[in-house]
Amino acid sequence: MADFVASIDQGTTSTRAMIFNHRGEEVGRHQLEHQQLLPRAGWVEHNPVEIWERTWSVLATSLNVTGLSSGDLAAVGVTNQRETTLVWNRHTGRPYCNAIVWQDTRTDKIAAALDRDGRGDVIREKAGLPPATYFSGGKLQWILENIDGVRRDAENGDALFGTPDSWVIWNLTGGIRGGVHVTDVTNASRTMLMNLETLDWDDELLSFFSIPRQMLPPIKASSPVEPFGVTTHMGPLGGEVPIAGDLGDQQAAMVGQVCLSPGEAKNTYGTGNFLLLNTGEELVRSRNGLLTTVCYQFGDNKPVYALEGSIAVTGSAVQWLRDQLGIISGAAQSEDLARQVEDNGGVYFVPAFSGLFAPYWRSDARGAIVGLSRFNTNAHLARATLEAICYQSREVVEAMEADSGVHLEVLKVDGGITANKLCMQIQADTLGVDVVRPVVAETTALGAAYAAGLAVGFWKDVDDLRRNWQEDERWSSSISEEQRAHGFAGWKKAVQRTLDWVEV
């Protein structure tokens, strides 16, 4: 059998390909950023063609730098930024418009209307999600209503909808030459269109958004009995490799962190933060502003569910310091700058650029920096940005404990920001529990590889995966309970200043 599994991680700011061996160790990677298109306030778009070009490049380059070929790969797994909405023509392969990204808030009035007339309660019950700009259903409705020709082509079966996993898989399996249009249960569970119990598109939910069913992809298990399809000789791998895993990025991180038993949780630090708690085969309805979502489904087994706390802006706040304000030259510099001060100097930064997600779900909120005096410097703002990441995570942890009754003893963390040791120390301080990072911090890509490898027998079972997990670094709280409470009270006060800013 081939000795490696490849993984495509199509993220919000970049696309990466990674190659792993049987021990779950990285043997090669390549990563490229793509453009963030911000045509007007609240709008966030990506160019689907650029995303596909980046996917091609990172796959081909990762093979080149490792000296491997398609014959060395047992399978490919795909993971992706969830909710981001694409529509393309099945005959030409051309997108009708740019992808509408999960952070985009142009659908705020659609979301607000759902909550005013009772449809929101049906969506909560069937899909496990609150009506919000975050999810795909409203974005797809907007495209159908505002982009010429899309509704006509959708009703004729010519226009295809997908999240980025569907777009990548369709292109990898041939595109206009027989490409497979498909998604998995985790991505479908983020649309407001899938019934969590039937694991199928729900006609009542589709009617709320006036979406033709024929434009939607079939929904399969995350690690299916039969592969989603195979790559083509004409594609970036230059040969046929089964595409055998597909998971939304946060669910992939759960698999990569081997959080496969009820009660296990992880927090991924990326563009946003996403804390998930495995609830097993039980659907747990949140009373505290969390989402009920599919965690994964392997083969013919029942789906495993999770509670999720989604935070829209964490790593992208650091990116904002770099790109929009210009006070740092790179993400790594945020740690050096923040270390120049002992504390935040009274400054709190609530980065509600896309409103507030969990546990508030307030699309009327906007970002605020509060507590400023002439004493404050850019170092205080950098420190407040790192603290914002950690305070938002604490709010989600508290909601999760209230919903599940499970007290978090240790927080498993992963994602790019975990390289920021100051941020991880602040997280341990704000939570009062140990924070643990594994050796492979890019667990999103690893999780997609695990799903694909399990499907083709590269890994025998989940015990194989558990043996691969290793602790790399641990942070413990270094402040008193009184200091922790004082800092958090200031954060809660700051959050109140962001509310009721825009009309929805």
Query: Directed axis angle between helix 421-431 and helix 378-404, to 10°?
Result: 50
Cis peptide upstream of residue 359 (ω within 30 degrees of 0): yes
Q: Which helix (H) or strand (E) holds 280?
A: strand 273-280
The four Cα atoms 57, 59, 61, 66 give a dihedral, to 10 degrees, of: 180
- What are the distances in angstroms from CA 405 to CA 62, 125, 399, 488? 44, 21, 10, 22
Amino acid identity, position 271: T
Q: What is the pLDDT of residue 409?
A: 83
- What are the distances in angstroms from CA 70 to CA 24, 66, 167, 376, 408? 19, 12, 21, 55, 42
Return the bridge partners of 437, or none. Answer: 473
H helical segments located in 405-480:
421-431, 443-456, 462-468
Q: What is the pLDDT of residue 1?
A: 67
Domains and CATH numbers, the chain: 2-248 (3.30.420.40), 251-310+394-473 (3.30.420.40), 313-350+360-387+481-495 (3.30.420.40)
- Cβ-Cβ contacts under 8 Å for 259 (sequence gap 6 or more): 265, 266, 276, 278, 412
Distance between CA 3 and CA 23 in Å, rounded?
Answer: 10
This prediction's pTM: 0.88
How many contiguous H segments (helices) and E segments (strands) does the chain have? 16, 23
Distance between CA 266 and CA 295 in Å, rounded?
Answer: 12
Other beta carbons less than 10 A from residue 91's beta carbon: 10
DSSP string spanning 30-49? EEEE---B--STT--EE-HH
Q: Which residues of the chain have pLDDT under 50?
A: none
Chain mean position to CA 98: 19
- What own/partner pairs with CB < 8 Å and gap ≥ 24 does 121-127 have? 122/204, 122/205, 122/208, 123/192, 123/205, 123/208, 124/285, 126/195, 126/196, 126/197, 126/202, 126/204, 126/205, 127/189, 127/191, 127/192, 127/193, 127/194, 127/195, 127/196, 127/202, 127/205
